[in-house]
Amino acid sequence: MIVAVIGAGQCSQEQYDIAHEVGRLIAKSGAMLVSGGLTGVMEAASHGAKDAGGVTIGILPGSRKEDANPYIDIPIVTAASHMRNIIIANTADVIIAIFGSYGTLSEVAIALKLGKKVIGIDTWDIKGVIRAASPKEAVELAGTYES
Amino acid sequence: MIVAVIGAGQCSQEQYDIAHEVGRLIAKSGAMLVSGGLTGVMEAASHGAKDAGGVTIGILPGSRKEDANPYIDIPIVTAASHMRNIIIANTADVIIAIFGSYGTLSEVAIALKLGKKVIGIDTWDIKGVIRAASPKEAVELAGTYES
Amino acid sequence: MIVAVIGAGQCSQEQYDIAHEVGRLIAKSGAMLVSGGLTGVMEAASHGAKDAGGVTIGILPGSRKEDANPYIDIPIVTAASHMRNIIIANTADVIIAIFGSYGTLSEVAIALKLGKKVIGIDTWDIKGVIRAASPKEAVELAGTYES
Amino acid sequence: MIVAVIGAGQCSQEQYDIAHEVGRLIAKSGAMLVSGGLTGVMEAASHGAKDAGGVTIGILPGSRKEDANPYIDIPIVTAASHMRNIIIANTADVIIAIFGSYGTLSEVAIALKLGKKVIGIDTWDIKGVIRAASPKEAVELAGTYES
């Protein structure tokens, strides 16, 4: 199972901590983490996943794998700019959106269009997004924990 | 100048008429029309543009140019599925969104992310979208009419 | 009918003249020209097509339409880097390759994979490429002239 | 380090065995394997890599991760058709081409264009491709073994 964490490339320390915890719980649940592979929320979630011994995939927009944050195990170099958002949505079984601006919104929308489950923490209030109040609730809603 | 009209592949007759009028006014203003090239709002706007003697570009998601509606002059065959939405947003100077569901939302979001002017007729209520009450107002706001 | 001219972004004056003549004859035959929209062979062919009153499409690799050469009527902004080569091959009914290096080879290969007719002037000697000795022969082989 | 194995979706048993051995040696050298994730040479190399305990990435052209062969650990779902070839070339540090037809040729060409090292086993004879006589020689030339 692959869970995407999407969010902005810049975030506050508080947001970093939340995204880190989401990543940690995804890895602990046994799922792989996919993200855009860069800074901010993407890095925080990948950092958390690595702290829990998980596997992290970064779908990079540019042409250099060196752009990946240090917590990415598998850098996928698309050189496709914003098109890489669509690959993230296609690759994930479930998407967790954390805060985020227009880039995150475009990804939420395409994920909903693709019929994927989208969980949001303090993100865009779009019909179809399942709201979670905490990292724990978000990952539980993602359904990656085996019962 | 290139104006995109984005919207769903299925629409009511009333919506068709509105999109047709938008396309007609875009062509009359001297701008080219770009759309996703398929049915519904895309076809209606292209139909309107051709009725006014304009040029219509269709950025198709599939691999066959035969998928273009009959009002497309320039079929661009991307075979890139939803990624083609991003090419539409990149190609247009201004975007007019008409109604629409998640696909339209993803395109609105990416256009705003790219810093493009986005005008909406009865579409998603997203910060940054300039609302227009009529086709006439939408095309005037697009600013393609020369003063 | 849409004919692609593919080739390198840098070329000698002699090569420019040949590509210009190919573009001119494509336009004269009534077909539209699609290319990568940049310099060198792409510019030369577009220049020739405009001299004959044709329509020119440029499928640009970057994110700025200003990168198009001055002979492009319809700039398509992909921001998809080398992926745009595949859109050119998909969009064209016939491809004429002129000289060219690895980028041209990749496009010739993908066009042959897509089952498109590929005509070559002094280009890679790949099975499936129909060789033409002159611009005139290339455009005749493209089959865009109506009988 | 990530090594790509590229080749056709259909192959003979003898070709399967060669690609399997290439995949096995890549994994044994400590590198990850990336491929197109489907059948034929792609499956054979992934199969070999898994037999040696390696990590396998499949960059899929379609929209369903179920299309991946059973030896893929990390399915990347691009829905971008032939464009995914370019992502493979961008993602790999070194490319090993095995036999192959036009699809493989397009990938060899784009990899050479990107300045990547390309090693070939019984594949297209293109300037810049380093020829290897055996799986062992190919993986040694790839340079992934630490000295």
With a CB cutoff of 8 Å and minimum separation 6, the contacts of B24 are B48, B49, B51, B52, B135
**Burial label, C9 (beta-carbon count in 10 A; 0-12, 13-18, 19+):** middle
C-alpha B84/C-alpha B92 separation (Å) is 13
Choose the closest CB to B76 out of C65, C76, C83: C76
Instruction: Judge contact between D69 and D92, C-beta under 8 A.
Output: no
Element (H, E) at A108: helix A102-113
Q: Residues C88-108: what's their mean pLDDT? A: 96
Secondary structure (DSSP) of D22-72: HHHHHHHTT-EEEE--SSTHHHHHHHHHHHTT--EEEEESSS-GGGS-TT-
Q: Residues C96-122: what's their mean pLDDT? A: 96
> Are β-strands D94-98 and D117-121 bridged in parallel, bridged antiparallel, or unpaired?
parallel
Contact B83 D81 (CB under 8 A): no
**Burial label, C2 (beta-carbon count in 10 A; 0-12, 13-18, 19+):** buried
User: CA torsion B13→B19→B22→B28, rounded to 10°?
Assistant: -80
Element (H, E) at C14: helix C13-28
Dihedrals φ, ψ of A61, to 5°? Answer: -80, -25
Kindly report the nearest CA distance between residue C106 and chain B, in angstroms. 16
Contact D105 C101 (CB under 8 A): no
Does residue A136 sit at the C interface (CB-CB below 8 Å)? no
Element (H, E) at B28: helix B13-28
Choose the closest CB to C82 out of D80, D81, D113: D113
Kindly report the nearest CA distance between residue A76 and chain B, in angstroms. 17
List of long-range contacts for D46-49, beta carbons under 8 Å, 24+ apart: D46/D71, D46/D72, D47/D20, D47/D23, D47/D71, D48/D19, D48/D20, D48/D21, D48/D22, D48/D23, D48/D24, D49/D23, D49/D24
- Positive or negative torsion for Cα D1, D7, D10, D14: negative
**Burial label, D130 (beta-carbon count in 10 A; 0-12, 13-18, 19+):** middle
- Predicted confidence band at B146 (pLDDT cuts at 50, 70, 90)? low
Phi-psi region of A14 (alpha: psi -120 to 50; beta: other; left: phi over 0): alpha
Contact C102 D109 (CB under 8 A): yes
Neighbours of chain C (3+ CB pairs under 8 A): A, B, D
Secondary structure (DSSP) of C48-96: HHHHTT--EEEEESSS-GGGS-TT-SEEEE---GGGHHHHHHHH-SEEE
Nearest chain A residue to B128 by CA: give it: A102
Residue pLDDT, tens place only, A83-113: 999 999 999 999 999 999 999 999 999 999 9
Beta-strand runs (E) in A47-121: 56-60, 74-77, 94-98, 117-121
Contact C82 A79 (CB under 8 A): yes
C-alpha A29/C-alpha A23 separation (Å) is 10
Instruction: Judge contact between D12 and D42, C-beta under 8 A.
Output: no
Q: Exposure pattern of D84-100 as b/e (b: 16+ CB <10 Å)?
A: bbbbbbbbbbbbbbbbb
Task: Tell whether the model's pLDDT for residue A8 goes beyond 80.
Answer: yes
- In the DSSP assignment, the letter for residue A42 is H
Question: Among candidates B77, B68, C85, B128, which has minimal Cα distance to A106?
Answer: B128
Query: Could you give all domains of chain A from N- to C-terminal order, each with its CATH number?
Result: 2-80+93-101+112-133 (3.40.50.450)
Which residues 2-31 of chain A have a CB within 8 Å of chain D? 2
Contact D81 B79 (CB under 8 A): yes
Element (H, E) at D76: strand D74-77
Does residue D79 sit at the B interface (CB-CB below 8 Å)? yes
Question: Among candidates D59, D117, D82, C80, which has minimal Cα distance to A79?
Answer: C80
Q: Exposure pattern of B29-62 as b/e (b: 16+ CB <10 Å)?
A: bebbbbbbbbebbbbbbbbbbbeeebbbbbbbbb
Residue pLDDT, tens place only, B23-74: 999 999 999 999 999 999 999 999 999 999 999 999 999 999 999 999 999 9
Let me know how long chain B is. 147
Regarding an ipTM greater than 0.85, the answer is yes
- Predicted confidence band at A145 (pLDDT cuts at 50, 70, 90)? low
- In the DSSP assignment, the letter for residue C108 is H
- Output the pLDDT for position D140: 97
Cβ atoms < 10 Å from Cβ of A128: 17
- Positive or negative torsion for Cα A141, A84, B85, D109: negative
Q: Residues C35-54: what's their mean pLDDT? A: 98
Radius of gyration (Cα) for chain B, nearest Å? 13
Kindly report the nearest CA distance between residue D2 and chain C, in angstroms. 20
Kindly report the nearest CA distance between residue B34 and chain C, in angstroms. 10
Q: Residues B103-130: what's their mean pLDDT? A: 97
- Output the pLDDT for position C118: 98
Does residue B81 sit at the A interface (CB-CB below 8 Å)? yes
Q: Residues D29-46: what's their mean pLDDT? A: 98
- Percent of all residues in chain A with a pLDDT value above 70, rounded to a whole number: 98
Choose the closest CB to D91 out of A77, A90, A91: A77
Does residue B81 sit at the D interface (CB-CB below 8 Å)? yes
Beta bridge partners of D95: D4, D118
Task: Tell whether the model's pLDDT for residue B16 goes beyond 90.
Answer: yes
Nearest chain B residue to A113 by CA: give it: B102
Does residue B106 sit at the A interface (CB-CB below 8 Å)? yes
- Helix, strand, coil in percent for chain C, rounding step 5: 40, 20, 35
Contact A87 D80 (CB under 8 A): yes
Instruction: Judge contact between D105 and C111, C-beta under 8 A.
Output: no
> Are β-strands A32-35 and A56-60 bridged in parallel, bridged antiparallel, or unpaired?
parallel
Does residue C86 sit at the B interface (CB-CB below 8 Å)? yes
- In the DSSP assignment, the letter for residue B136 is H
C-alpha C68/C-alpha D108 separation (Å) is 27
Does residue B75 sit at the C interface (CB-CB below 8 Å)? yes
Average pLDDT along chain D: 96
Choose the closest CB to A83 out of B86, B102, B114: B86
Which of A38-42, A112-116, A141-145, B127-131 has the least mean pLDDT? A141-145
- Predicted confidence band at A146 (pLDDT cuts at 50, 70, 90)? low
Does residue A121 sit at the D interface (CB-CB below 8 Å)? no
